[in-house]
Amino acid sequence: MVDVKDFLRDYAQKEGLFKDKKVLQSNYTPENVPYREDQINSLAGILAPSLRMERPSNIFLYGKTGTGKTLAVKHVTNQIAEVAKESNLNLKIIYLNCKLKRVADTEYRLIAQICREMGH
Domain range spanning residue 16?
4-89
What is the secondary structure of the chain as a DSSP string? ---HHHHHHHHHHSPPS-S-GGGGSTT---S--TT-HHHHHHHHHHHGGGGGTPPPPP------TTSSHHHHHHHHHHHHHHHHHHTT---------TTSHHHHSSHHHHHHHHHHHTT-
Same domain, 63 and 33: yes
Same domain, 52 and 105: no
- The alpha carbon dihedral of 99, 105, 110, 113 has a sign of negative
pTM of the model: 0.76
Give the pLDDT of the chain (120 residues) as one tens digit per residue.
679 999 999 999 998 888 888 988 878 888 899 999 999 999 999 999 999 999 999 999 999 988 999 999 999 999 999 999 999 999 999 988 887 777 778 888 889 989 999 998
CA angle 73, 47, 32 (to 5 degrees): 40
Same domain, 11 and 47: yes
Which CATH number belongs to the domain containing residue 14 in this structure? 3.40.50.300
What is the pLDDT, as a whole number, of residue 1? Answer: 66
User: Total domain count for the chain?
Assistant: 2
